[in-house]
Amino acid sequence: MAVEALKWVGDVDGYLELVDQRRLPGELVKLQCRGIEQLHEAIRTLAVRGAPAIGVSAAYGLVLAAQKPGGRDSLEHALKVLGECGRYLASSRPTAVNLFWALERVRRCAEEFVAAQPNSGLRDLRRAILTEAHAVYQEDVEMCRRIGENGQHFIREGSGVLTHCNAGALATAGQGTALSVMFEAKKSGRNFTVYADETRPLLQGARLTAWELKEAGIDVVLVCDSMAGWLMKQGKVNAVITGADRIAANGDTANKIGTYSLSILAKKHSVPFYVAAPSSTFDLSITSGADIPIEQRDADEVTSFAGARIAPDDIDVCNPAFDVTEARDISAIITERGVIENPDARSIAQHLAPETSSQKQPKGVTD
């Protein structure tokens, strides 16, 4: 892993350190988030991005919220502040489910602590919240490694792999999801080429994925998004592997805009299409991808490039951040628990059944 996308610095009165991904690859700049307003802005503006990384950051965000309970010293008031701050952080982005999952998990931990130890002090509550946030972080690191191990056999010696957007170390607390599969295949001694889509309009593939793979010593070729179908027709792509921001109960998967098109192209050219994502990315309260909310982002992302205007003034712009790939076009979903071949509602429910209750995943929420 070339860089840590995020880490907590210090004890209960510490802060969250983030790599500012808006500045990569030109500069490696780190932000010190000491309040939830700063973290909200970092998530909203993509200083931190990637569903798992957003979730872990949000968990630490409630530690920041607990540092300033509004001047009162009661546990009940602290819980109220945590609820308000959690809702505020949840408003930063609407599609990736890990944001809401992590906020709900840490909030519930705080409630259970107060119920079990009502005579404790605020510092004890903060300690409990920080411990839970650390657990979310460590589980994410382990999750990344296991996803890579479970999926690395899909990459054959000498093959070509296409990926879209960034699902590497910069998108998680660990070594990534889709890129973890590639890192583990590399560790296994296989040689292969990764074609990284540039991923318009914000170029996460060009700025982040190409940088990560190059740093890891993996053969990477940067391509424009519109080149993918021609590469497949030429036989240069033997597998497509992407991440995910939310997966519905039937396996329909929301990911960075452009992923849906890749799934159609892959099916046309008989190229297997794999999704690598943690089990926390599943939202079983959503029946199908039709119910996944899709974030609409600012028109300037499309009409400007590197600060220069590239489109006519007053032009209408459509800028959805995500699209939805149907489960029928996904060959397999790779999670930290294993692989779901030809995913559907039944196979997904079976895959998640052992830990669904213990994960306490929130209902009806996304990244």
User: Which pairing describes strands 246-248 and 322-325: parallel, antiparallel, or unpaired?
Assistant: unpaired
Would the pLDDT of 355 be above 90?
no
What is the CB neighbour count within 10 angstroms for residue 226?
A: 12
The mean pLDDT of 167-184, rounded to a whole number, is 96
Would the pLDDT of 361 be above 90?
no
Tell me which amino acid residue 224 is. Answer: C
3-state secondary structure labels for all residues of 104-172: HHHHHHHHHHHHHCCCCCHHHHHHHHHHHHHHHHHHHHHHHHHHHHHHHHHCCCCCEEEECCCCEHHHC
pLDDT in tens, 258-277: 999 999 999 999 999 999 99
Would the pLDDT of 243 be above 60?
yes
Please give the pLDDT value at position 105.
96
Beta strands in the chain (DSSP E): 6-9, 15-19, 30-33, 160-163, 193-197, 219-223, 239-242, 246-248, 253-256, 273-276, 282-283, 304-305, 308-309, 322-325, 332-335, 338-341
CATH number of 148-359: 3.40.50.10470
SS3 300: helix
What is the CB neighbour count within 10 angstroms for residue 244?
A: 28
Is 245 an annotated catalytic residue?
yes
How far is Cα 276 from Cα 266, in angstroms, rounded to an integer? Answer: 16
Would the pLDDT of 360 be above 50?
no
pLDDT in tens, 139-165: 999 999 999 999 999 999 999 999 999
How far is Cα 242 from Cα 254, in angstroms, rounded to an integer? Answer: 11
pLDDT in tens, 12-21: 999 999 999 9
Q: Which of 140, 197, 245, 283 is catalytic?
A: 245
How far is Cα 299 from Cα 308, in angstroms, rounded to an integer? Answer: 13
Would the pLDDT of 320 be above 80?
yes
pLDDT in tens, 127-143: 999 999 999 999 999 99
Instruction: Write down the domain spans for the chain.
Output: 6-146, 148-359
In the CATH hierarchy, which fold is given to the domain comprising 6-146?
Four Helix Bundle (Hemerythrin (Met), subunit A) (1.20.120)
Please give the pLDDT value at position 97.
81
How far is Cα 183 from Cα 218, in angstroms, rounded to an integer? Answer: 8
pTM above 0.85, yes or no: yes
